[in-house]
Amino acid sequence: MAILSDRDIEKYLKKGIISIEPLEDPKNQIQPASVDLRVGHKFKSFKIIRKPYIDPKKGRDLESYMDTFHLEDGEAFIIHPGEFALASTYETIKLPKHLVGRVEGRSSIGRLGVTVHVTAGYIDPGFHGKITLEISNIGKMPIAIYPKQRICQIVFETMTSPAKRPYGHPERDSKYMGQNGPESSKISKDYEIKHGKI
């Protein structure tokens, strides 16, 4: 696998092989080997509830565990130490069958103690939608996050060949295809849970 440079990113964007919409400030967003992405206006965080645990088999309950916040431009979402929230990229991404995306935090955000993904930094070939971010504050001070703030970066890697069944393929269970904001976990739709294998 090879990582795309800024030259290749610009070329792929111009040819429509990769789509990042809206890419309003390419001069500042396109980095030497990645593209900075901004956080959107919608955040989700867990409520304090009186249940002993989250059960992945009871998917319809998962959304009820979260509060949703819609922020205006200039309004801050405050993430406190030890808190976890979902957000999504402001930009919508579209990948072809032969490229993988990897989302990483920006150094300037990380140095404040904010992480942007727990495990889901991998974007499958064929994915189309906004990227859900798993934001945590592992520092000691509350941090303000603003809509349209550059918060993460996406790196593009070429595959040895195009995927036979990319994300969104009819034979795949692509639960998050076309998402337009932060999506709560759809783990209850996993094959092994949905079909009673566990």
In the chain, what are the domain boundaries?
2-195
Indicate the pTM of the whole model.
Answer: 0.89
Q: With 90 as the cut, is the pLDDT of residue 130 above it? A: yes
| 40-78: pLDDT as tens digits | 999 999 887 777 787 777 766 677 788 999 999 999 999
Q: Which candidate in 10, 83, 104, 134 is catalytic?
A: 134
The maximal CA–CA distance of the chain, rounded, in angstroms, is 52
Q: Which CATH number fits the domain 2-195, given the four candidates 2.70.40.10, 2.60.40.420, 2.40.50.140, 3.40.50.300?
A: 2.70.40.10
145 is in an annotated binding site: no
**Six token digits for residue 8:** 């290749």
Residue 73 known to bind ligand: no
Amino acid making up residue 117: H
Reduced to 3 states, what is the DSSP secondary structure of residue 172?
A: coil
19-33, 41-55, 145-159: which range is least confident on average? 41-55
Average pLDDT in the chain: 91
pLDDT at 194: 76
7, HSE (Cβ side, Cα atoms, 13 Å): 0
Task: Compute the average pLDDT of residues 7-12.
Answer: 98
* Side chain identity at residue 189, one-letter code: K
Task: Provide the pLDDT for residue 58.
Answer: 72
Higher-confidence position of 32 and 185: 32
* Residue 96: count of CB within 10 angstroms of its CB: 19
Q: How many other β-carbons are positioned within 10 Å of the β-carbon of residue 88?
A: 23
Do residues 139 and 83 lie in contact, with contact meaning Cβ atoms separated by under 8 Å?
A: no
The pLDDT of residue 103 is 96
Tokens representing residue 198 in the block: 């566990």
Instruction: Identify the pLDDT of residue 59.
Output: 63
Share of the chain above pLDDT 90, in %: 69
User: What value does the mean pLDDT take over residues 108-122?
Assistant: 89
- Active site (annotated) includes residue 134: yes
**115 labeled binding residue:** no
Q: What are phi and psi of 18, to 5 degrees?
A: -110, 140
Kindly report each contact of residues 5-8 with a partner whose C-beta sits within 8 Å and lies 24 or more positions away, as own/partner: 5/32, 5/33, 6/30, 6/31, 6/32, 6/33, 8/156
Q: Is the pLDDT of residue 38 over 70?
A: yes
In angstroms, the first-to-last Cα distance of the chain is 35
Amino acid at 175: K
Whether 65 has a binding-site annotation, put simply, is: no
